[in-house]
Structure 1
Amino acid sequence: MGRKEDMAKLANKLMYIPEYIRNIGIAAHIDHGKTTLSDNLLAGAGLMSEELAGKQLVLDFDEQEQARGITINAANISLAHEYEGKDHLVNLIDTPGHVDFGGDVTRAMRAIDGCIIVVCAVEGKMPQTETVVRQALKEGVKPVLFINKVDRLIKELQLGPEQMQKRFMKIITEVNKLIRQAAPKEFKEKWLVNVNDGSVTFGSAYCNWAISVPRMKKTGITFSDIIKYTNEGNEKELAKKAPVHKVILDMVIKHLPCPSEAQKYRIPRIWKGDVNSEIGKAMMNCDPNSPLGMIVTKIIIDKHAGEIATGRIFSGKVKPGDEVWIVGTKTKRRVQQVGIFMGADRENVTEVPAGNMVALTGLKEAIAGETICGGDKPIHPFEAIKHYSEPVVTEAVEPENPRDLPKLIEVLKQVAKEDPTLKAKIDEETGEYLLSGMGELHLEVVAYRITHEKGVPIKTSEPIVVYREGVSKVSPEVEGKSPNKHNKFYLTVEPLEDEIYKAIKNGEIPEGRVKSKEIAQKLRELGMDKNEAKNVEEIYQGNVYVNMTRGVVHIGEVRELVIEAFHNVVDKGVLTKEPTIKMKVKLHDTKLHEDAIHRGPAQVIPAVRSAIYAAMILADASLYEPIQKVFITAPDDYMGAVTRLLQQKRGQILDIKKEEELTTVVAKTPVAEMFGFASDIRSATEGRALWTTEQIGFERLPNELQKTVMRQIRQRKGLKPEPPKVSDYV
């Protein structure tokens, strides 16, 4: 394919002239024709055959995307296009329209300055269109509009020229209403799309044609001609007169900004550093002769090249051998290869300057959303990319063949890196490998990838929630005896003060051994008894151990063993072996055997552990469940449906805010009730709701659910269903 090599040469030349560059995305609702349009743009550039355009789906180069017919990754590609006699370089990112892959869309929006909104002429503006367009506008990305599938209006709905124009005007009005609501203040009017200036085109990506009002004037084609060509099955003729790639890319170059123009207003929106600093000015001016400033939008793991970090360069340039900072980890790494993307292929180049998309290898620690820079010290990071959903579902994964375990561990690290909305960890309790993601489809796709792409066949469990155990009152003093009956420990358990727990959780009070007087002072200020505060010896996972003994001989020799027993209990509580939360353990007195040989680990640890377990039961030990804050934004008409759904989910409404025709409800709901929420909320609001969640910690599980949930967890862990009694321990 000779055109590909020529394209790479041309791209190499054009990337040094920012005025001739456009970084754009294509955004739409699922199945409105984004990928088909991308393929047509590729065909026009000679990167695939025109016959196949729209059928081949080059950008869906992942087997699974082609099978499901939906785009899951944001793919990039560079194209050259001649406009008014001058060559331009268009860097294109194709983004998914399915709600579970919203993470990819958000990251892609960071890298682009303009986007083509694709709307289906038959279905009109859909909820995901709204979500994606809002996201684009929030990142300072300028829109143009392509109304697709016009052939269906003619063939299926048999609309005449007038009705067709009416239908287009309705879509344009809705899109403009959205732009007015969500665009940055200074662009609310400037960015509106308009039929007369050509920032709106209509056409059929599948049939390879598109037209705009200015182009109609130029070519003399009318709506009646379009209807005639389509009804006679003569779309090829139409595609010759008005080829989709030419019309769309002309619109892109005329109406969407070049990097040097866009970065002036986008950098202050997406970078919270000092815009008057050297790097701030360099990025706003898209200056290639200054230190490097770039953001990684995606990590791709390639069988041959390893980890490829793709992203957008805002200032400076990058070439193989450069030492760069990975800002999040404050480490320096040497760039190995520098490339640009041509569809699924990466072409290596000698350097890439500001204003372009780039693919780098050698940056082992980089993750999506990471800031990369040159210079002597790391710059202020780009603000964390806001994802429109957070991981809510956890599944245990295991290899079908136990021999694949080491390989699976490696692969889990890779997938979590490629997709920051995934979390992978080991459950120390059960030894299970847990994978958390943004929804059922998300985890299903990841499981498919692990099996088919990474070559490790796996089995997954039903989704599960992790609970905690805590106490709600002060226990009486409990005596724990060592197995040889020669050592006795007297202790109590009680809930830890709220303020102290908060301070430990947000890092004001460090975890670990307590050695400094300042910590005792801080504990007193937060409401702990003075005598207790000075005797706190260990803080572990939000739980506290206090040694209140006085004048006990040999206590120093068993101190480490007592603390080890305390750790054992915190890691595995008494009721279900889930971790404990917000608990204070106080040792009041102890009687120890004279002879060290009779007070070793095998005597002390079980004595202390069983005493704490018994005290927990006496202090009303119960289960605590993870709680999420849920933010749901939907048109006013759907508020009834939203509040009903929240009530079914044991939700509690905290706040309701109104903004024009949209209302946002803030509620808290248990994570356990959130399975299937994406499809529930989609059906309750006909897909018109935007929702996000954030973890807010743990709350006590309601009384009526304690027994059932406890039994379920115990059975899952292979424990006998009945919870333990005090007599089991002392």
Structure 2
Amino acid sequence: MTSIRNVAIIAHVDHGKTTLVDKILHEAKLFRDNQETGELILDNNDLERERGITILSKNVSVTYKDTKINIIDTPGHADFGGEVERVLKMADGVVLLVDAFEGPMPQTRFVLSKALELGLHPIVVINKVDKPNCRPDEIHDGVFELMFNLDATEEQLEFTTVYGSSKQGWMGPDWKNPTDNVQYLLDVIIDEVPPAPAPEGTPQLQITSLDFSSYTGRIAIGRLVRGKLTTNMPVGVAKKDGTIQKGRIKELHVFEGLGKRKVEEVVAGDICAITGIDGFEIGDTVTDPETPDPLPRIAIDEPTMNMLFTINNSPFFGKEGKFVTSRHLRDRLYKETEKNLALRIQDGESEDKFIVYGRGILHLAVLIETMRREGYELQVGQPQVIFKEIDGQRHEPVETLVIDVPEEVAGKAIELATQRKGELLIMEPKGDLQHLEFEIPSRGLIGLRNNILTATQGEAIMTHRFKEYAPYKGDIGGRINGSIISMENGPCTAYALDKLQDRGTFFVAPGTDLYGGMVIGEHSRPSDITVNVQKGKKLTNMRAAGSDDSSKLPPPRAFSLEECLEYIQKDEYVEITPESIRMRKILLDENERKRAGNK
């Protein structure tokens, strides 16, 4: 029987984790020599490739020297922190991947602390040593220091360090002497990571992640800790409330390469997917129905933010999307909760409104972007932070915010963060950048990224991670400027936009089709203003010197989906269709807005 190694990979966003896994898959000859595989095999969802982040943790396995290595990918972004802790439960060792220039980053620190607490043995890979001005030796010392600060044990501190460049496809013991493949890393994994223990006895498997198939329903994924499972075997699922729900295994799959292989039997130590059992949740234990022995449950991150989702009822409703009714929206949102665990959904005040709870703006934006690509049309309201009453006092979520900025603009970044009740905890130089760490309410983060990127000419690197609920820190000012709103329906003209330049910045280009009540710009003053941008130039057959010059317009300000979500006010919606993202007032009619404002 082949021995099994279960190893998780931890890395910060963009440190080369996905590329490294690609190279390991190639090394294990999983592909035919002439097979087209493309890059970034693990980030197989278009959104993951575009944003350069891993959103869903995935499992891959390779067989090397008669040993099966299960590689468990962990998400690199803080908004998906709920995934991380569960995934680490499946591993016996951990590969910490660090960029040879940037060193260990804040989110890496969070995942690493969880891995060390679980007693996993670390292997450090210092990647991208081919980059100019990289500093592998300094980074190695930095990793040691970080582990020491995280209370690593003596054995964990005696980690093996592997140097290499996953882009160039090599790993070795010395960064000055490149090798020509990644076998050294695989050898280190086999030597250093303990073989998965396989105790005898009744089966125990904790469900750590879910998959969903429209043919077989929900699929439970987890690591078999003890005993063995066979097809058609009766099992019990130990629930949160202590009850045991009986069921029968229909099919068993183990991971092989990038896919799954159907098997009749799974032995302890391996990671498998089970179909046929219903009504389970993450953290439940699959065990023997007669003598149940559940494993301790795993805590899942609480949502910290909610947002109103509703159907699109703008004048452009149904022009671009395939799925536009409240039934479509309801079905799609509830289907998402099957596998997206940090998401909760509550019905709103009317049939077509839903309140969706998530881990942060990025978490919700990824869901919206996915739905939009599938052909849905919807509208969402301003993101709201979730408050809690603790001991009769109002508490709000607080996050750790880390900003790396060039020294000359560090002052601006500190000023913007402290205006939003951010508290500066650490300020230290890191290479040629200033490393700033704040404690800031989640409310303060909404809209902050835009302001900081503008103030630092786009050079700031920002990351944040939920820390705890803390007492309410008082009011935080929102956007200061009002909106410029379209008065009429129809395409806007260059002539009208040119005449209104002094009123503020515009988000639309000449010729864009608009409707009354749509937000088309930012007013230079705090109040909203309604303007007619459809007005054309009066045409006469008289020529006047100078008045026939074409209008010179600055390019419109473009917004990404997250920027729109951070930008809108309480009385505005973001309208999302497969082809466009527009901002609008909830009440499109100007008189209705005035009446609502006077109440």
The verdict on a shared fold, with TM-score over 0.5 as the criterion, is yes
The counterpart of 2:63, out of the listed 71, 74, 80, is 80
Could you say which residue in structure 2 is the equivalent of 1:396?
Answer: 309
Q: Report deviation, 1:425.
A: 1.9
- The residue correspondences of 1:173-184 to structure 2 (distance < 5 A) are 173-184=141-152
CA distance, structure 1, for counterparts of residue 83 and residue 570 of structure 2:
39
CA distance, structure 2, for counterparts of residue 704 and residue 56 of structure 1:
42
The one-letter amino acid paired with 1:40 is K
The counterpart of 1:117, out of the listed 96, 104, 126, is 96
SS of the aligned residue for 2:355 comes to strand
SS of the aligned residue for 2:337 comes to helix
CA distance, structure 2, for counterparts of residue 426 and residue 152 of structure 1:
51
Q: Is the 8 A contact 1:40 1:54 kept in 2?
A: no
Could you say which residue in structure 1 is the equivalent of 2:286?
Answer: 372
Task: Tell me if 1:65 matches 2:48.
Answer: yes
Could you say which residue in structure 1 is the equivalent of 2:271?
Answer: 357
Deviates more, 1:88-97 or 1:57-66: 57-66
CA distance, structure 2, for counterparts of residue 96 and residue 52 of structure 1:
28
The one-letter amino acid paired with 1:458 is E
Q: How many residues align?
A: 473
Q: Report deviation, 1:252.
A: 0.5
Q: Is the 8 A contact 1:40 1:205 kept in 2?
A: yes
Q: Is the 8 A contact 2:207 2:221 kept in 1?
A: yes
Q: Is the 8 A contact 2:236 2:292 kept in 1?
A: no
The counterpart of 2:596, out of the listed 721, 724, 730, is 721
Per-residue Cα deviation, 1:445-471 (whole angstroms, up to 9, x for no partner) = 21233344xx45132324243899xxx
Task: Tell me if 1:56 matches 2:39.
Answer: yes
Task: Tell me if 1:192 matches 2:160.
Answer: no
Per-residue Cα deviation, 1:94-113 (whole angstroms, up to 9, x for no partner) = 22323333333332212112
CA distance, structure 2, for counterparts of residue 430 and residue 423 of structure 1:
17
Q: Is the 8 A contact 1:328 1:371 kept in 2?
A: no
The one-letter amino acid paired with 1:334 is R
Could you say which residue in structure 1 is the equivalent of 2:137?
Answer: 169
- Residues 349 and 100 (structure 1), Cα distance of their counterparts in 2 relative to 1, 3 Å cut: same
Could you say which residue in structure 2 is the equivalent of 1:290?
Answer: 201
CA distance, structure 2, for counterparts of residue 106 and residue 134 of structure 1:
10
- Residues 376 and 59 (structure 1), Cα distance of their counterparts in 2 relative to 1, 3 Å cut: same
Q: Report deviation, 1:308.
A: 1.7
The normalised TM-score by structure 1 is 0.55
Task: Tell me if 1:692 matches 2:486.
Answer: no
Could you say which residue in structure 1 is the equivalent of 2:13?
Answer: 30
Task: Tell me if 1:423 matches 2:348.
Answer: no
Larger radius of gyration: 1
SS of the aligned residue for 2:6 comes to strand
- Residues 193 and 375 (structure 1), Cα distance of their counterparts in 2 relative to 1, 3 Å cut: same
Could you say which residue in structure 2 is the equivalent of 1:248?
Answer: 185
CA distance, structure 2, for counterparts of residue 650 and residue 152 of structure 1:
38
The one-letter amino acid paired with 1:57 is L
The counterpart of 1:41, out of the listed 9, 13, 24, is 24
Q: Is the 8 A contact 1:116 1:144 kept in 2?
A: yes
Q: Report deviation, 1:138.
A: 2.6
Per-residue Cα deviation, 1:310-360 (whole angstroms, up to 9, x for no partner) = 111212222222322142263333222111123442211112122111111
Could you say which residue in structure 2 is the equivalent of 1:382?
Answer: 296
Per-residue Cα deviation, 1:23-72 (whole angstroms, up to 9, x for no partner) = 11111111111111111111122212568799532222223323444322
Per-residue Cα deviation, 1:177-211 (whole angstroms, up to 9, x for no partner) = 11112245xx2x211255xxxx2111221222221
CA distance, structure 2, for counterparts of residue 648 and residue 332 of structure 1:
55
Could you say which residue in structure 2 is the equivalent of 1:311?
Answer: 222
- Residues 148 and 114 (structure 1), Cα distance of their counterparts in 2 relative to 1, 3 Å cut: same
The counterpart of 2:260, out of the listed 346, 364, 387, is 346
- The residue correspondences of 1:441-480 to structure 2 (distance < 5 A) are 441-452=362-373, 455-465=374-384
CA distance, structure 1, for counterparts of residue 419 and residue 292 of structure 2:
48
Q: Report deviation, 1:675.
A: 2.1
CA distance, structure 1, for counterparts of residue 569 and residue 164 of structure 2:
59
Q: Report deviation, 1:650.
A: 5.4
The one-letter amino acid paired with 1:208 is G
Could you say which residue in structure 1 is the equivalent of 2:509?
Answer: none
Compute the RMSD of aligned alpha carbons.
4.5
CA distance, structure 2, for counterparts of residue 393 and residue 421 of structure 1:
11
Deviates more, 1:363-372 or 1:67-76: 363-372
Q: Report deviation, 1:291.
A: 2.2
- Residues 316 and 702 (structure 1), Cα distance of their counterparts in 2 relative to 1, 3 Å cut: same
The one-letter amino acid paired with 1:396 is F
- Residues 382 and 42 (structure 1), Cα distance of their counterparts in 2 relative to 1, 3 Å cut: same
CA distance, structure 1, for counterparts of residue 103 and residue 386 of structure 2:
44
Task: Tell me if 1:323 matches 2:235.
Answer: yes
Structure number having the greater strand percentage = 2
Per-residue Cα deviation, 1:102-160 (whole angstroms, up to 9, x for no partner) = 3333322121121111122233333333233223223322210112222334xxx5xxx
Structure 2 unaligned residues grouped into runs of 5+ = 313-320, 427-434, 480-526, 528-567, 573-584
CA distance, structure 2, for counterparts of residue 353 and residue 138 of structure 1:
26
Structure number having the greater helix percentage = 1
CA distance, structure 2, for counterparts of residue 672 and residue 96 of structure 1:
24
Structure 1 unaligned residues grouped into runs of 5+ = 1-12, 15-19, 158-163, 214-221, 227-237, 261-285, 469-500, 507-581, 583-623, 725-730
Q: Is the 8 A contact 2:224 2:269 kept in 1?
A: yes
- The residue correspondences of 1:212-611 to structure 2 (distance < 5 A) are 212=173, 223=176, 226=178, 238-239=179-180, 243-244=181-182, 246-260=183-197, 286-287=198-199, 289-321=200-232, 322-328=234-240, 330=243, 331-376=245-290, 379-385=293-299, 387=301, 390-398=303-311, 400=321, 404-429=325-350, 431-452=352-373, 455-465=374-384
SS of the aligned residue for 2:130 comes to helix
- Residues 466 and 675 (structure 1), Cα distance of their counterparts in 2 relative to 1, 3 Å cut: closer
CA distance, structure 1, for counterparts of residue 271 and residue 189 of structure 2:
17
Task: Tell me if 1:129 matches 2:90.
Answer: no
The one-letter amino acid paired with 2:25 is L
Could you say which residue in structure 2 is the equivalent of 1:208?
Answer: 169
